[in-house]
Amino acid sequence: MAAVLTSVPSEAISLPVVDVNGTSHLFSTLYSTDGHNQQTLVIFIRHFFCGSCKEYVTGLSKENGITPNELSNSNKRLIIIGCGQPNLIEQYKKDTKCPFTIYCDPTQKLYDAFGMIRTLSLGEKKPDYIKSSFLSNVAKSAVSQISAGTCMFQGGDIRQNGGEYLINERGDIIWSHNMINTQDHVEIKELRKILVLD
């Protein structure tokens, strides 16, 4: 079992992530806020065609999920990082109605630095955030991938799992969770408690 991280790994600080415009940013700039004492929830998703992660981000983006206004009022922010190519970010935001900034790490070096695993295991229990059946999710993922046309192989590593990290501006990890299977994001109601939004 990997050790629990108490701060952003040194190798992750200077690793790049890419935004929707193809612009590269150091990972450390995503949580550094120049003395504003802000906390940043970084959600690492799986590949951009993953139906389960799409349901998760859609749930987060709903009014009863987590809203940017709530986060702003509590001096927190939320960003999402995927492992596919940046040209898929815009469509992903549309599909999920996501109001949060999405970046990508196509090299998966950031995922590796945080000790996130690769597996296709579904786990034993379907979480509350997944409303569709397994077969429906597989079908939606396939349709989404085929609809991407020439970009259908740019969604990212289908074995790569993600996780959630709450990081303060100094790079201290306040709370974290790494997925152990493809349906193992932390439930949205639990995230709300961790972010002290309720």
Domain map (residue ranges) of the chain: 10-194
Which residues, at least 6 apart from 39, have a Cβ–Cβ distance to it below 8 Å? 75, 76, 77, 166, 167, 168, 169, 174, 195
Query: What's residue 1's pLDDT?
Result: 47
CA atoms of 185 and 41, how far apart (whole Å): 13
Residue 148 corresponds to which amino acid? A
- Which residues, given as ranges, of the chain have pLDDT below 70? 1-3, 35, 134-143, 145-146
Query: What's residue 2's pLDDT?
Result: 57
Question: What fold is seen in the domain 10-194?
Answer: Glutaredoxin (3.40.30)
Query: What's residue 33's pLDDT?
Result: 77
Largest CA distance in the chain: 47
CA atoms of 104 and 19, how far apart (whole Å): 7
pTM as predicted? 0.93
CA atoms of 121 and 70, how far apart (whole Å): 34
Residue 110 φ/ψ, nearest 5 degrees: -70, -40
Query: What's residue 78's pLDDT?
Result: 98
